[in-house]
Amino acid sequence: MRFQMPNFPCDFELPDEWLAAADMVCFTPTTTAYRSTAAAVLVPLATIEPPYRLVTRQKDWRGFNRDRLVYVFKGIVAGAEIEPVPLFKLPVTDFPHTPYRYRVLNEYHRFFASVAAGFEDLPATIS
């Protein structure tokens, strides 16, 4: 299945089998983000620079690890508490004409899972 990136003219693809394995095929979000820790702040996905994935990187599918992504999807479906994603706040003076204010430092699978789940926000910690 293909998913459109927020605020960026590109998309990404995930195998249908992975979505089925996590019961994500018919998932409809009822909140703006997955459930996370009390320390997390909600950041609109449209303000986060899409992480670049190397499709040739040694992973299970185009830079993604199946087990990690299915694990995150299962947590989303179950309403489990999932750790926030660490973000770096971009200096506005360096990028005055971009809608992006944050960059993902780690935990890319949670970012992409949030987009695929149809969420508007990403639970994050900001540095």
The pLDDT of residue 117 is 97
Q: Does position 56 have pLDDT exceeding 70, yes or no?
A: no
- pLDDT per residue over 67-119, tens digit each? 999 999 999 999 999 999 999 998 876 666 778 899 998 889 999 999 999 99
What was the pLDDT predicted at 59? Answer: 64
* Selection from 65, 66, 49, 69 nearest residue 57 by Cα: 65
The domain segmentation of the chain, as residue ranges, is 15-126
| Helix ranges, the chain (H) | 16-21, 66-78, 108-117
Mean pLDDT, rounded, of the chain: 89
- pTM for the model stands at 0.88
**Candidate CATH numbers 4.10.140.10, 1.20.1440.130, 3.30.1240.10, 3.90.1530.10; the one for domain 15-126:** 3.90.1530.10
